[in-house]
Amino acid sequence: LAWLELFGSKLGRGPVPRVQDLVNEKRAAPWFLLYFAAVAVGTVAGLLGYQSMWRAAVALCMLTTVLLGVEYWRAYRGKYAATAPARPASFSPPLPEGKRPS
């Protein structure tokens, strides 16, 4: 959604970055791993009745949610997107019949 809002209106008018260029995957990957690990630990702790472990897992989920929110905000603000994306290979539109160069 961030890409559509930032660059959707620029399609066809010049180069635009890829969606992958809006995020730094290496920076966000640890937060995703911690989040899913905390969800798994919290689920097991909740099922087994370990209240203190469940609370710690929920706290870790909240922390990683905030950290992932920061990454989403950076992507939305275009922090990682190149200010001048590389131009794609040159493209010439097709010419109408009868106007082809010989």
pTM over 0.75: no
DSSP 20-51: GGGS-HHHHHHHHHHHHHHHHHHHHHHHHT-H
Backbone angles phi, psi at 93, to 5 degrees: -65, 155
Please write the tens of the pLDDT for every residue from 23-39: 888 888 999 999 999 99
Question: Per this entry, what is the length of the chain?
Answer: 102
Count Cβ atoms below 10 Å from residue 39 Cβ, excluding itself: 15
Give me the pLDDT at residue 92, please.
Answer: 57
The one-letter amino acid code at 92 reads S
Please write the tens of the pLDDT for every residue from 39-90: 999 999 999 999 999 999 999 999 999 999 999 888 888 777 664 444 555 5
Tokens found for residue 43:
């689920």
